[in-house]
Amino acid sequence: MTYVLVHCPDCQGVDVVRYGKQRHGPQRYRCNNTACPRHIFLLEYRNHGRLPAVKQQIVDMALNGSGIRDTARVLRISPTTVISTLKKKIQAYSK
């Protein structure tokens, strides 16, 4: 039996508990820090388009003039993910 110390990806806190499993099998975790904006997370995401680093790359590539299909091909994600991420960023900046 091994002991794995899990850190919250947002607040880097160690007050983390297991919080069930997803339908396709991975373990979910919950951060018990009340000040943390992110409560439930996974250690390894199956859908890489949901990672914050990939979302930032989408925005950076769009600002550098890459098209939607080009961005999707390079990052190996769906063009629909690229479009929805850009729409959400535009809505956030317009407020």
Q: What is the pLDDT of residues 15-65, one digit of tens each?
A: 888 899 988 888 899 999 888 877 888 887 777 888 888 999 999 999 999
Residue ranges of the alpha helices (H) in the chain?
Answer: 52-63, 68-75, 79-94
Q: What is the pLDDT of residues 55-76, one digit of tens each?
A: 999 999 999 999 999 999 999 9
Two tokens, residue 95: 């407020």
| Mean pLDDT on 74-87 | 94
Residue 90's pLDDT band, with cuts at 50, 70 and 90, is confident
Tell me the domain boundaries of the chain: 1-45, 48-94
**pLDDT at residue 1, as a whole number:** 73
Q: Which residues are within 8 A (CB) of 42 and not within 5 positions of it... i.e. 6 or more apart?
A: 22, 26, 27, 28, 29
> For residues 93 and 84, what is the distance between their CA atoms, to the nearest angstrom?
14
- Residue written as token pair 């063009």: 79
> For residues 16 and 83, what is the distance between their CA atoms, to the nearest angstrom?
33
